[in-house]
Amino acid sequence: KAGVTQTPRYLIKTRGQQVTLSCSPISGHRSVSWYQQTPGQGLQFLFEYFSETQRNKGNFPGRFSGRQFSNSRSEMNVSTLELGDSALYLCASSLDGTGAYEQYFGPGTRLTVT
Amino acid sequence: GENVEQHPSTLSVQEGDSAVIKCTYSDSASNYFPWYKQELGKRPQLIIDIRSNVGEKKDQRIAVTLNKTAKHFSLHITETQPEDSAVYFCAASRAPGNTPLVFGKGTRLSVIA
């Protein structure tokens, strides 16, 4: 079974631009969570989607948004990029996101904002 | 909401020694505690998890202990090897439930040959 995939793997953007990242979960997984990873803050939860609905949201500004499609693929969007948005963005999928099943991470998208 | 504290932030051990990483959590309703290992440039991978109906779980050289009364859990790695060098993250959540995993800030383990 193929693992979680993320595209693109690397991105360089300029301050003020917007960016869209994509995550394809493991086949059959319906829950997709997004995390921001930075050296100082570790893994911070952005949001979780299940069956095309945002079920949980972390403490990030409204510039961070996401969506999930009927095939469970998910995208996250960051508008009006700031230097502090430079980070590794990880998505993770699980069968139902309840914690009853293991969560698997993708390889991440490394975003650099200049 | 849940808050997870992880210590130490860095840990160096000699090959063959044991390593212990500790985490505390704040939400007494949390009952699922996974540990992830992230090697340099790679994705986090689940190495072991424990649920609140058990106090200890082992998998070869890795063990996790849970003390629900004190709200802390620990990762124990015995007979460490250079390939154990990585960043380790603990996490906590309610399960089953719809609350997200909350992660500690990670421990960078270096195993010196």
Q: What confidence tier does B105 reach under pLDDT thresholds 50, 70, 90? A: very high
Percentage of chain A beyond pLDDT 70 is: 97
Between CA B62 and CA B52 the distance in angstroms is 18
The confidence score (pLDDT) of residue B113 equals: 92
Task: Tell me which residue in B95, B98, B106 faces A55 most closely, judged by beta carbons.
Answer: B98
Question: A110 CA to chain B: closest CA distance, Å?
Answer: 10
Compute the nearest-CA separation of A105 from chain B (Å). 6
CA distance B43 to chain A (A): 5
- Residue B96 preceded by cis peptide, ω within 30: yes
Cα–Cα distance for residue pair A59/B88, rounded to 1 Å:
23
- State how far the Cα of B38 lies from the Cα of B36, in Å rounded to an integer: 7
pLDDT digit string, tens, across residues A18-57:
999 999 999 999 999 999 999 878 899 999 999 999 988 9
pLDDT band at residue B99 under the 50/70/90 scheme: confident
Q: Cβ contact (<8 Å) for A97 and B98?
A: yes
The rounded percent of chain B whose pLDDT value lies above 90 is: 85
Please answer yes or no on whether A106 and B43 come within 8 Å at the CB atom: yes
Nearest to A43 among B45, B89, B97 (CB): B89
Structural tokens at position B97:
């439930």
Q: Is the pLDDT of residue B100 over 90?
A: no
Segment B15-39 shows an average pLDDT of 96
Task: Say if the Cβ atoms of A42 and B89 lie within 8 Å.
Answer: yes
Is A98's pLDDT higher than 90? Answer: no
